[in-house]
Chains A and B, each alone.
Chain A
Amino acid sequence: MQRELKRDFERHPQFLDEFLRKREFDHLEIFSRKLYDCSLAFQGKVADVLTKNRAVESALVALATCPLEKQHLHGIMASLQG
């Protein structure tokens, strides 16, 4: 657990140890802020993944139905790589 969160608490190296041992009120601010940041980052990543997945899926559908010509294939492949 500490390894996972280590990068998040670079500026507060003692935080994890202290939070687990002492649990003081001062720790709560840092903890809640980090948790909130992490959830926001996760939300952003989910949105990104879903958008990219939709783009890939539509490109694959286009690939299945497009005419077998260089121009069409090139366009779809460019969007897949892009």
Chain B
Amino acid sequence: MCISLQAEQLNTTNRFSIFSVFNPLLVRPKIRSAIQEYQNKLLIQVKDDVKALQEKFKRQYAASEASRLTAVRDLPPLAGSIIWARQIERQRQTYMRRLQDVLGEGWEDHPEGQKLKSEGDAFRDKLDPEPRGSVLGYCRFKKWQEEVSVANREAMTLFTTETFLTNVFRIVTTRRKELVLEVNFDLEQIELFKEVRSLSLLGFKMIPTIETFASTLQRIYPFAISMSEAIRIYFHAASRLEASLEPLLAGYKRKMHCYFKLGLDQKLLANSKVYFLAFFGVFHKAFCFFCTNLFGIHIFRFSPTNHVLFGRRCSAS
């Protein structure tokens, strides 16, 4: 063991592994005295490592390189921070195991071992202030789950695949009092289903309402993104077209309007006749002019009055 430790090219990791292999021999006084020099060096190393780990934790997840990496890998913030905390915890456990390997049996009675162990335990408490034995990050997960349930209570009961299919598009009024056509899907909730997916992979059990809601969002998401993009492309292209050239592409525009009509609530369309005509028929030219001034994709709640208002404005223009 001593010969192995004396080898000059040996790095610290290798020395730790030698200690872990010959750990049971450390009870012998002769061996203990022979390896004391290396033992002290490795103890200093463990101390430095724990200190560096604490510094890393103090800098917080949001400012860490890990948060940027998780964002690139499409991991939501909560799941990313839990993964980061778990990584730190695993590293802390590795350092504690190394301490055990270096000091041998009864390491907790050793003055240095005692000090480092209490430091490590205090660090564990800071890392996750929840009771020992529970899964790391469980408290934060619970809190997030409660917040999500409260914030999305209405959406969770009203938004289903069926309601989305009834009304694929919606018309909203922006802050500038402009009417905008968009997909009936809250793009802000994308983060929710990503969070649910990642947290489930981390082993957390969701409450059924959140799970159902997230799976609905996940199912609709690719189509909603595709249709949002189609709407954006259409209105952007329409805004580039000069009024004098519009008749040349009237057929294409009409076809797009047919698709929009197909995606709107048919019962509602039938009830608001003005809107119906404005959108897809008699006032087609006025509508084209109006559409060229529409832009942007915004999130909104569906409101039937918007449809009527939209039609009136079209017919007035």
Contacts and interface: CB of A to CB of B under 8 A. Distances in A.
Interface string B220-243: 100100110111011011101110
Contacts of A8: 255
A68 interface: no
B124 to A, nearest CB: 47
Contacts of A24: 165
B245 A38 contact: no
B74 to A, nearest CB: 21
Contacts of B238: 42, 46
A33 interface: yes
A42 B165 contact: no
A53 B245 contact: yes
A43 B223 contact: no
A38 B237 contact: no
Interface in B237-262: 237-238, 240-242, 245, 248-249, 252-256, 258-259, 261-262
Interface string A15-52: 01001100111011101111110111111011101100
Contacts, number: 95
A32 B226 contact: yes
A23 to B, nearest CB: 4
Contact of A36 (B168, B226, B242): B226
Interface residues of B, number: 36
Nearest to A25: B161
Interface of B is mostly: helix
B263 A42 contact: no
B240 A50 contact: yes
Contact of B233 (A5, A27, A40, A49): A40
A27 B259 CA distance: 13
B162 interface: yes
B245 A42 contact: no
A4 B295 CA distance: 25
A8 to B, nearest CB: 8
A59 to B, nearest CB: 16
A4 B258 contact: yes
B288 to A, nearest CB: 12
Contact of A35 (B227, B249, B252, B266): B227
B249 A39 contact: no
Given A25-B161, A32-B226, A49-B249, A39 B166 contact: no
A78 interface: no
A27 B45 CA distance: 63
B280 A1 contact: yes
A39 B240 contact: no
A52 B234 CA distance: 20
21 contacts: A8-B255, A19-B262, A20-B262, A28-B165, A28-B220, A32-B227, A36-B226, A36-B227, A39-B229, A39-B231, A39-B233, A39-B234, A40-B233, A42-B234, A42-B237, A42-B249, A42-B256, A43-B234, A50-B241, A50-B245, A53-B242
